[in-house]
Structure 1
Amino acid sequence: MKHAYLANLSIDKSDPGPLHRQLFLKLRDNILQNVIKAGTRLPSTRLLAEDLGVSRNTVLSAFDQLMAEGYLEARVGAGTYVSTQIPDELLGTNSSSEKPNPKARKIKLSRQAEALRPTGPAKPYHQGPFSPGRPELDQFPFEIWARLLAKHWRKPEPDYLSGNPVGGATALREALAEHLAQTRAVNCEPDQVIVLSGSQQAIHLVIKAFAETGDPILMEDPGFPGIRNSIIAAGANPIAVPVDDQGFNLEAAKSLAPKARLACLSPSHQYPLGPTMSLQRRLEILHWAGENDRFVLEDDYDSEYRYSGRPLSSLQGLDTEDRVLYVGSMSKVMFSGLRVGYLVVPKDLVDVFLALRRDIDGHSPAVAEAALAEFISEGHLATHIRKMRILYEKRQKVLISELRAKCGDFLSVDEQECGMHLIAFLRPEIEDKKVEALARDQGLMLRALSAFYEGPEKKNALIIGFAGTHEKQMPRLVGRLAQILETCAAHMQT
């Protein structure tokens, strides 16, 4: 049952007209404009009179008039409700004559907002089979997670209820610093770790810190769209740098934007193509960054899942001149609904980034961070990652086998040493965007690689996630994809 709180309702006692008439008109307008919806229970006349500072008789008179005209109905022993019998044509939501058509308006937006204007409705790419970056959720240890959350909610620390340090809960920053040192060779103290609401917020802060309007900011091509969007939102100029078999092409970057001061990279597992940057290339980039006050944003989004040898050290761990800002997230190793990302910054930039973070929303949720700190420090995160690494490796092999067996006439695919998705290169005549559109209609949430390019040269391939898709479903799902590819191929031949 819906209840009306009527917090927006007020009476102007200086109005010379009768108060009950004024109240009647305001309630009637709220009902006709669907602010108070049909079937909603209104407050009692006594309570409403107290809230408005008028006599109860004033409210009773207004209610009587509204009931007489059919806007309200009294239910014996249950109270007064907005009538469910009001004709639709009277309600404001169905009256197009009084409301301007949003599509007809011409609004002058900022250059940044105009560049980010969507071309259509947002698509739920992170749901369904073959979604890139979607982790396996059914095998997450929710019992342990629920126990830790319940523990901290049953008796939360007083500080957690009234705030949180700007950089995040101290316990979580300590746990993350130790975890990153052990798993990614990140070299930092806990106070260099800033906890944020996902990696996108971290990327946004880094670009905001270094970008002036019109500045060139280097990004990989193809690359993560969130980086491009953050560059545009900052009023800067995204410079698309080609990716080769070693990752970000530094020589091309120097030629395209010799004065650029910030490069945004994913060296451990380039997104979306997947190469791992060689040690030689990493050292060259660090040397480049050490010249003329340059910096590197290292997006380390899913490097925990490495299937060949041990995980490679982070670029930040090789940095001896404090030029790398390291970005990570719990979305791939736990679940995206947790909304926890983190940023590791050089010591002399901690105060700057805390100020930038404070400017956004002050601090992050404290109790969930306390639970996450224990989840990490008690070893549950490391155990879960090891378990998922074995599972994802198995799923990758099953998917490759199915793709080669059922789709081999239309695409080629190789194993990835790292990550949660595959790149399947299509025959030239089969357009990846067309396959993506048809696949979405069939419930397959794979992506077209060409959509991730900024420059004119685009590779024609599919990005197919395997981590969150059960291997028992893969034969049926790949069979569905094979039919789509066959349809596209036949269409191109006619």
Structure 2
Amino acid sequence: MPASHLHQIIAALPLQRGASEPLFRQLYAAIKAAILDGRMSPGMQLPPTREFCRLLAVSRQTVLNAYALLTAEGYLDGAVGRGTFVSVEVPMAAPPARADAPGLLRPLSARGQGVVAAMRQVAIHRGPLRAFRVGMPRIDHFPFDVWNRLEARRWRRPDHHFGYSDPAGFLPLRELLCVYLKASRGVRCAPQQIVITSGSQQALFLLSTILLAPGDSAWMESPGYRGASGPLRAAGARVFPVPVDAQGLDVAYGVAHCPQAKLAYVTPSHQMPLGVSMSLPRRLALLAWAAQNKAWLVEDDYDSEYRYTGAPLASLQSLDRAACVVYVGTLSKVLFPGLRLGYMVAPPALAEALVQAKAVMDRHTAIVPQMALADFIAEGHFGRHIRRTRDSNAERRDLLVRGIARELGDQLACGPADSGLELCAYFRAGHDEETVSRAGLARGIELRPLGHYADPAAGPECVTPPGLLLGFAAIPPAEMAHGLQELGRILRGR
């Protein structure tokens, strides 16, 4: 290559002066890229360091440091008095592939494609908080000063727990959760049955993976939580949509149309998204079917702490006499989503298998947050926080219900609103959910269509009247009032 052309290549190397990354690291990366893409070919002699300095207006030490890194990694060869060369061991660069050329990327496996596709339809929160974001607790009520103190205290006293830990989770935390769940939800368990997970989503993925073989059928509420159908599909299960009515999951429909299912996912205390509670006859029928067919029931009790009319309902697991219910809980809705702590309560015969599966996935959940949570519960902060947020959520729920009745009573009819962090509202007039939702985003509010939770493969039995799911727990009163005004303008075509 002519020296003039090489000098042009060197002079064009991208360097950002004043950037946080040191110049020698930038120069190292730029030369490495030029070698790998073929602009600097194997055996090519680079100019002396002083010439390099002149071309780029950098110090000689910058060039020497970059050369040293590249030589250590095998991109350059050189010796005093001989010069510096691109290593002949670096293979010639292949011609760059066209971005639109078919078949050039290595394909994912069939299982990989299933995992990737499974969660594409799950909505992810984006941007700042605004009315009426669903699934969000009121974070500004959380005592972060207390939490910071508890974590700092643990960091100041490192002990053997700071090595690899029990995949099942921090034992004192499991013991405290056992006491709490017995008292608040009637869950019958021992600490050995509890497995701490990185959020309830990890629990759902583990259960789908180890309880189902590819091709097995699983009942899924429709409408229902897409974040649960995703893991089922990723595991290769055949998801069978089962309709939901005022009494919860229609067990008789599932038995009549898919009796061979190996698992059923349910949200019996507060159905997602319709907000209904499963009646006692339906619960008993579901347990009887599972016992007779040796099927598993996954009870997702995602926000039962927030019940505003009376005490929380007893869990489905409390009625289980056939050891078929796996109880799944999350702390994202009670504390804050970024904590990423959840748990499973497994039947005794299943617990050890879930612990081993958890170890395969990530060895164990981060230990310091578990320790801090154990202290948070033991010192009474957990109970006080739940009581405080329950009262706050109830006030904001009342604001939303009254606001709908006052401003949108002719447009919306509220569904059950006695628990949870959101409520569903059905259109009284003919509105298209997606059109309303898009108009909301254009006006700065989030309106989740109820149709988002419907299984596309579900039959007419699973069709839910059109409407919206409206979150209220995290929405300040002024933002809620603004959201209701905008929603009213949208529904009235203004």
Same fold (TM over 0.5): yes
Structure 2 CA distance for aligned equivalents of residues 243 and 484 of structure 1: 29
Shift of residue 212 of structure 1?
A: 0.9
Shift of residue 142 of structure 1?
A: 1.0
Q: Is the 8 Å Cα contact of residues 127 and 445 (structure 1) preserved in structure 2? A: no
Spell out, residue by residue over 1:423-478, the C-alpha distance to the aligned partner (whole angstroms, 9 max, x if none). Answer: 11014521111111221222212310011101242420100001001123322221
Per the alignment, residue 480 of structure 2 pairs with 474
Identity fraction in percent? 34
Q: Which stretch has the larger CA shift, 314-323 or 122-131?
A: 122-131
Q: Is the 8 Å Cα contact of residues 53 and 60 (structure 2) preserved in structure 1? A: no
Structure 1 CA distance for aligned equivalents of residues 127 and 239 of structure 2: 24
Query: What secondary structure does 1:450 align onto?
Result: helix
Structure 1 CA distance for aligned equivalents of residues 464 and 422 of structure 2: 19
Shift of residue 122 of structure 1?
A: 5.8
Query: What secondary structure does 2:139 align onto?
Result: coil
Structure 2 CA distance for aligned equivalents of residues 117 and 412 of structure 1: 31
Shift of residue 28 of structure 1?
A: 6.3
Shift of residue 337 of structure 1?
A: 0.2
- 1:64–1:380: structure 2 CA closer, same or farther, 3 Å change rule? same
Spell out, residue by residue over 1:266-300, the C-alpha distance to the aligned partner (whole angstroms, 9 max, x if none). Answer: 00000000111111211111111111311100000
Q: Is the 8 Å Cα contact of residues 170 and 371 (structure 2) preserved in structure 1? A: yes
From 90, 93, 101, the counterpart of 2:99: 101
- 1:115–1:29: structure 2 CA closer, same or farther, 3 Å change rule? farther
Shift of residue 36 of structure 1?
A: 12
Per the alignment, residue 9 of structure 1 pairs with none
Per the alignment, residue 230 of structure 1 pairs with 231
Equivalent residue letter for 2:483: L
Per the alignment, residue 135 of structure 2 pairs with 133
Matches within 5 A, 1:65-464: 65-70=51-56, 73-74=58-59, 98=96, 100-101=98-99, 108-109=107-108, 110=110, 112-113=114-115, 115-116=117-118, 118=120, 124=126, 127-160=129-162, 162-454=163-455, 455=458, 456=460, 457-464=463-470
- 1:63–1:351: structure 2 CA closer, same or farther, 3 Å change rule? farther
Shift of residue 129 of structure 1?
A: 2.2
TM-score by length of 2: 0.80
Structure 2 CA distance for aligned equivalents of residues 217 and 29 of structure 1: 62
Per the alignment, residue 21 of structure 2 pairs with 40
Equivalent residue letter for 2:379: E
Shift of residue 232 of structure 1?
A: 0.9
Query: What secondary structure does 2:385 align onto?
Result: helix
Equivalent residue letter for 1:300: D
- 1:104–1:477: structure 2 CA closer, same or farther, 3 Å change rule? farther
CA RMSD of aligned residues (A): 3.5
Q: Which stretch has the larger CA shift, 383-392 or 151-160?
A: 151-160
- 1:80–1:171: structure 2 CA closer, same or farther, 3 Å change rule? same
Query: What secondary structure does 2:478 align onto?
Result: coil
Matches within 5 A, 1:5-20: none
Query: What secondary structure does 2:492 align onto?
Result: helix
**How many residue pairs end up in the alignment?**
436
Equivalent residue letter for 1:464: L
Structure 1 CA distance for aligned equivalents of residues 424 and 101 of structure 2: 38
Structure 2 CA distance for aligned equivalents of residues 214 and 29 of structure 1: 60
Q: Which runs of 5+ in 1 are unaligned?
A: 1-20, 45-59, 82-96
Equivalent residue letter for 2:21: T
Spell out, residue by residue over 1:341-379, the C-alpha distance to the aligned partner (whole angstroms, 9 max, x if none). Answer: 101111111121111111111111111110101111222
Shift of residue 184 of structure 1?
A: 0.9
Equivalent residue letter for 1:40: E
TM-score by length of 1: 0.80
- 1:427–1:65: structure 2 CA closer, same or farther, 3 Å change rule? farther
Spell out, residue by residue over 1:319-350, the C-alpha distance to the aligned partner (whole angstroms, 9 max, x if none). Answer: 12211000001100000000101011111111
Q: Is the 8 Å Cα contact of residues 167 and 354 (structure 1) preserved in structure 2? A: yes
Shift of residue 105 of structure 1?
A: 5.9
Structure 2 CA distance for aligned equivalents of residues 120 and 364 of structure 1: 24
Structure 1 CA distance for aligned equivalents of residues 20 and 188 of structure 2: 60
Structure 1 CA distance for aligned equivalents of residues 373 and 354 of structure 2: 22
Equivalent residue letter for 1:101: A
Spell out, residue by residue over 1:308-328, the C-alpha distance to the aligned partner (whole angstroms, 9 max, x if none). Answer: 111111111111221100000
Shift of residue 101 of structure 1?
A: 2.3
Q: Is the 8 Å Cα contact of residues 424 and 468 (structure 2) preserved in structure 1? A: yes
Structure 2 CA distance for aligned equivalents of residues 121 and 313 of structure 1: 30
Equivalent residue letter for 1:74: S
Spell out, residue by residue over 1:88-116, the C-alpha distance to the aligned partner (whole angstroms, 9 max, x if none). Answer: xxxxxxxxx94642796676442514643
Q: Is the 8 Å Cα contact of residues 132 and 464 (structure 1) preserved in structure 2? A: yes
Per the alignment, residue 465 of structure 1 pairs with 471
Q: Is the 8 Å Cα contact of residues 274 and 416 (structure 2) preserved in structure 1? A: no
- 1:137–1:120: structure 2 CA closer, same or farther, 3 Å change rule? closer
Structure 1 CA distance for aligned equivalents of residues 317 and 475 of structure 2: 32
Structure 2 CA distance for aligned equivalents of residues 302 and 286 of structure 1: 22
Q: Is the 8 Å Cα contact of residues 121 and 226 (structure 2) preserved in structure 1? A: no
Query: What secondary structure does 2:141 align onto?
Result: coil
Equivalent residue letter for 1:130: F
Q: Is the 8 Å Cα contact of residues 181 and 187 (structure 1) preserved in structure 2? A: yes
Per the alignment, residue 85 of structure 1 pairs with none
- 1:356–1:401: structure 2 CA closer, same or farther, 3 Å change rule? same
Q: Is the 8 Å Cα contact of residues 130 and 465 (structure 1) preserved in structure 2? A: yes
